[in-house]
Structure 1
Amino acid sequence: MKEKDVMQPNSKNGIPNGNNVKNSGRPTSSQSNNDHQNDVSVKGELTYEDKVVQKIIGIALEEIDGLLTVDGGFFSNVKDKLVNNDDVRAGINTEVGKKQVAVDMDIVAEYGTDIEDIFEQMKKVITREVKEMTHLEVIEVNVNVVDVKTREEYENDSETVQDKVKSAADTTGDFASRKTNDAKRAMNQGRHKMDEKREPRVE
């Protein structure tokens, strides 16, 4: 009988015992436990800037039908509409805590749509996207409808505003843009001062 045909001692049914089995490379249970303990022992904190959450919300709102714009002073970027502001965060105000988020915004809705349904869709997509990306809980979404417009009226107004801004920029260079930014900054600062007086809504 050839040597390789001889069964190894201490084996049953031809299955080699544990002493003859090479390590498969998989971590043992003791190794896994040690790795887990090492992970837990690493201290640190994950936080998000307001602008990050605002951008997540701004992009999420692009899928809402009937929402013409989030009003940020001019026409903001919602879906593939005519715009003069490519910052998706414009007009979106957030209060971001370590665990929770509160959202405030003004919108223009399309005439003839169910605005209550738009609001429900907004809450749903905002909550979903913020939760999936940050694990923060959206506890409040406040939407103020500042206007309703037909699609044609909205596009005409957008073109008019764009033409005015372009004309001013061509005539005065960056002066008009700087003044616009200064005005927005002043409005935001005033809003922030008012917000500081309020009790925080989020944890």
Structure 2
Amino acid sequence: METNTLAVDYERTEMGSIQIAPEVIEVIAGLATVEVSGVAGMSGGFAGGIAELLGRKNLSKGVKVDVGQREAAVDVSIIVEYGNRIPEIASEIQRNVKRSIEMMTGLTVVEVNVHIHDVHFKTGEKPEEEETLLRVK
């Protein structure tokens, strides 16, 4: 799915037109994604750390949108925290992204695809198999 790089005329009013740039949708989707408990970060972006949430580039990293006149499709690529149920996290991301975009823009979100790219381990937290391998060496 490629990102639409031009803002399309979303709505015409008596005063003129309203345009929502795809980058705006990406930032909304990124924020809605990292709000979900169990998400460590966006794929290729940050892994935890509130300071990294502040930059606009980081908020849209790992997000691709396809925006039409009235509809949007979103792909998010995430890193999950070890120990969480991936299907539950993915479902919550889908609900949160859809709700946020529709509430803020009025666009209809037709799909939210969640791609899990990695698992983040907290410091000192390793799966048992890895610990066994480390002891053998």
Report the TM-score, using the length of structure 1 for normalisation. 0.49
Give the 3-state SS of the residue equivalent to 1:143 in structure 2.
strand
CA distance in 2, matches of 1:131, 1:41: 19
Q: Does structure 2 conserve the Cα–Cα contact (< 8 Å) formed by 1:57 and 1:129? A: yes
Question: What letter corresponds to residue 112 of structure 2 in structure 1?
Answer: V
Q: 1-side partners of 2:74 and 2:110: how far apart?
A: 8
3-state secondary structure, aligned to 1:152 = coil
Q: 1:153 to 1:123 in 2, by over 3 A?
A: farther
Give the secondary structure class of the aligned counterpart of 1:76: coil
Find the counterpart in structure 2 of residue 105 from structure 1: 76
Deviation of 1:67 (Å) = 0.5
Shift of residue 85 of structure 1?
A: 8.2
Q: Residue 17 of structure 2: SS of its match in structure 1?
A: coil
RMSD, aligned CA: 2.8
Counterpart of 2:104 in structure 1 is 133
Are residues 1:76 and 2:49 paired? no
- TM-score by structure 2 length? 0.70
Deviation at 1:42, TM superposition (A): 2.1
* TM-fit CA distance, 1:45: 3.4
1:143 to 105, 108, 114: 114
Is contact 1:66–1:118 with CA below 8 Å preserved after alignment? yes
The runs of 5 or more residues in structure 1 that have no matched partner are 1-39, 155-203
C-alpha change, 1:77 and 1:98, in structure 2 (3 Å) is farther
1:7-156 correspondence to structure 2 within 5 Å:
42=14, 44-71=16-43, 73=44, 75-76=45-46, 80=50, 83=52, 86=55, 87=57, 88-152=59-123
8 A contact 2:32–2:96 mirrored in 1:
yes
1:148 shift after superposition: 1.2
Structure 2's unaligned 5+ residue stretches are 1-11, 126-137
CA change 1:52–1:79 in 2 (3 A) is farther
In 2: Cα distance, 1:47 partner to 1:146 partner: 32
CA distance in 2, matches of 1:133, 1:140: 17
Give the structure with the larger strand fraction. 2
Cα distance between partner residues in 1 of 2:13 and 2:62: 41
- The structure with the largest alpha-carbon Rg is 1
Q: More helix per residue: 1 or 2? A: 1
- Between the two structures, name the one with larger relative contact order (CA 8 Å, sep ≥ 6): 2
Q: CA deviation at 1:78?
A: 6.2
